């Protein structure tokens, strides 16, 4: 494949700057937790279901512990003590804890030690179950195989899981490799995970464990029919990021949208809440073999792609560093970028190629996620179809891994099945027709494409130097990314962040960090 003449020393320097950006924040992850992390811990132990008001029991337990001033030592410690004192199974013990509070004396060293022993043993069992789910997924993928790259990623978003399932199956039969169930508008701002199968939603379908299970089962069945493994994606960004990561791991999802800055910039979720939640979420994703999809493509919906392309690359370096800090291998880092240049830009196609090739070369082992044009798409479906065709051409030319297909009516309404079929036809045509084009041509060493890539890399390094000097939190406050300002004490969810007590217990964290548990 053709290569750009990149300055590898400059790429290495950019990575060292990203480490300087991320390292100061890692200390805060070790000193803090959040209500969503504690609820995720309860779900890992097996706490599930809702009460008579449809409030999830993990929320009830955490709310009760917070109300009683007992949350700082961790939900794992409280659950373990309640199980031991009551003799009840985990679910019944959680209900008792939510209704009556923590009744055990955790100051008793003998009882505290026994509770820790229970919590660590059950944590190992829970992770062993997740490891078995990962292994079963891996074996199925190897047996059936997946589609060639770029893998064709299609969305379904009816609001009703029972309508999503047949649409996802239909898309798989028409050639899609990855089905993404778009989450209902606003779910990222809910501080709880809805329970059960849902038949309502605006602009998407609620992410729930039951909905994950239904779609996973349907895609497994059609995958066996087609002789091709169909991957499933959902969204873990938002206030319940750790909990959704648990549910996805339990139900065998393959990918989750999980970005360092997306929820902060575009959903106004507090930066400390997001980054703390994200670290634990990515530890879970790494353990479960779930590919993350990051959201740098969104930067170019609020900022100009020609002027601000370097912010995408800088953010990718930061996302990569956060992921590595959580133990995530490069093979699971689906770093995102997009084809969002203004179509009226002279040589815009060359600049798009430059950016796509630059990202592909800088992160050679990552399953890069390539996003279609949206900002400049109009109701002119013929123009949109042409725009998407060029997008597909750049994707196959530069070797993108995961390609979300552009759909000709996306700017008009929630796409019909026929619109998705046309998107698949377009991608298949271009991918087949230009399959080996990159092996037949080379970039001019001092041509427009090479110069543009060098410019973006230089500007990304300059931005990373600035962020490393000032700190990520102050830089976000100054609207460095996407032209959006977010203050460190602003946004949603800050009240759910707390400092850990000296006796805080979360056995999953240590086990995930050591990667000791295997199927």
CB 321 within 8 Å of CB 363:
no
DSSP characters over 186-211: TGGG-SS---S-----SSSB---HHH
Query: Which residue, 104, 131, 129, is CA-closest to 46?
Result: 129
Question: What is the 3-state secondary structure of 277-308?
Answer: HHHHHHHHHHHHCCEEECCHHHHHHHCCHHHH
**Dihedral sign, Cα of residue 291, residue 296, residue 298, residue 301:** negative
Q: Is 428 a catalytic residue?
A: no
CB 497 within 8 Å of CB 276:
yes
- Measure the CA–CA gap between 331 and 337, rounded to whole angstroms: 17
Polymer length of the chain:
519
- Measure the CA–CA gap between 191 and 376, rounded to whole angstroms: 33
Q: Is 297 a catalytic residue?
A: yes
Edge-to-edge strand order for the sheet containing 402-404? 333-334, 291-293, 255-257, 231-235, 178-181, 151-156, 402-404, 369-371, 336-338
* Helix, strand, or coil (residue 151): strand
Q: Can you read off the two tokens belonging to residue 183? A: 């989450």
Distance between alpha carbon 127 and the CA centroid of its chain, in Å? Answer: 20
Determine the longest span between alpha carbons in the chain, in angstroms.
Answer: 74
Q: Which of 262, 391, 421, 504 is catalytic?
A: 262
Residue 378: exposed, middle, or buried by beta-carbon count in 10 A (0-12, 13-18, 19+)?
A: exposed
Q: Which of 297, 324, 391, 421 is catalytic?
A: 297
Q: Is 206 a catalytic residue?
A: no
Distance between alpha carbon 229 and the CA centroid of its chain, in Å? Answer: 21
Q: Which of 369, 421, 492, 504 is catalytic?
A: 369
Query: Which residue, 456, 232, 426, is CA-closest to 352?
Result: 456
The tokens 């123009």 sit on which residue?
383
Task: Output the CA–CA distances (angstroms, integers) from residue 377 to 125, 181, 387, 394, 448, in the order listed.
Answer: 49, 22, 8, 17, 25
Residues tagged active-site: 262, 297, 369
């Amino acid at each position: 494949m053709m290569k750009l003449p990149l300055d590898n020393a400059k790429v290495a320097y950019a990575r060292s700057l990203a480490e300087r950006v991320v390292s100061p924040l890692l200390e805060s992850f070790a000193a803090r937790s959040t209500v969503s992390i504690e609820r995720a811990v309860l779900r890992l132990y097996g706490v599930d279901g809702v009460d008579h008001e449809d409030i999830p029991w993990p929320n009830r337990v955490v709310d009760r512990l917070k109300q009683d001033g007992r949350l700082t030592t961790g939900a794992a410690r409280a659950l373990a003590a309640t199980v031991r004192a009551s003799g009840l199974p985990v679910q019944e013990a959680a209900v008792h804890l939510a209704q009556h509070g923590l009744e055990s004396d955790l100051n008793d060293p003998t009882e505290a030690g026994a509770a820790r022993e229970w919590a660590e043993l059950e944590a190992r069992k829970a992770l062993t179950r997740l490891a078995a789910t990962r292994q079963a997924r891996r074996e199925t993928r190897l047996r059936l195989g997946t589609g060639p790259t770029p893998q064709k990623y299609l969305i379904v978003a009816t609001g009703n899981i029972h309508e999503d399932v047949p649409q996802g199956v239909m898309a798989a039969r028409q050639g899609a490799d990855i089905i993404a169930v778009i989450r209902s508008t606003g779910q990222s701002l809910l501080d709880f995970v809805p329970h059960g199968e849902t038949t309502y939603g605006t602009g998407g379908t609620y992410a729930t464990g039951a909905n994950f299970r239904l779609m996973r089962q349907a895609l497994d069945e059609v995958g066996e029919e087609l002789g091709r493994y169909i991957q499933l994606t959902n969204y873990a960004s938002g206030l319940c990021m750790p909990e959704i990561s648990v549910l996805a791991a339990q139900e065998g999802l393959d990918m989750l949208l999980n970005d360092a800055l997306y929820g902060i910039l575009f959903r106004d979720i507090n930066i400390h809440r997001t980054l703390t939640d994200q670290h634990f979420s990515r530890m879970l994703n790494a353990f479960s073999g779930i590919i993350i999809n990051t959201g740098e493509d969104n930067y170019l919906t609020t900022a100009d792609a020609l002027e601000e392309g370097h912010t995408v690359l800088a953010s990718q370096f930061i996302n990569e560093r956060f992921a590595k800090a959580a133990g995530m291998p490069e093979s699971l880092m689906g770093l995102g970028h997009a084809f969002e240049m203004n179509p009226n830009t002279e040589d815009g196609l060359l600049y798009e190629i430059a950016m796509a090739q630059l990202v592909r070369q800088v992160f050679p082992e990552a399953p890069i996620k390539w996003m279609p044009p949206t900002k400049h798409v109009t109701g002119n479906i013929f123009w949109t179809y042409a725009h998407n065709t060029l997008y597909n051409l750049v994707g196959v030319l530069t070797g993108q891994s995961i390609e979300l297909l552009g759909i000709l009516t996306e700017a008009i309404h929630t796409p019909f099945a026929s619109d998705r079929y046309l998107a698949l036809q377009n991608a298949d045509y271009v991918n087949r027709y230009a399959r080996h084009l990159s092996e037949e041509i080379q970039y001019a060493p001092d041509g427009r494409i090479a110069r543009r890539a060098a410019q973006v890399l230089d500007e990304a390094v300059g931005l990373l130097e600035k962020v490393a000097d000032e700190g990520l939190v102050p830089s976000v406050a100054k609207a460095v990314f996407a032209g959006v300002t977010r203050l460190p004490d602003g946004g949603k969810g800050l009240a759910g962040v707390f400092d850990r007590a000296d006796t805080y217990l979360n056995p999953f964290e240590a086990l995930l960090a050591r990667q000791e548990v295997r199927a």
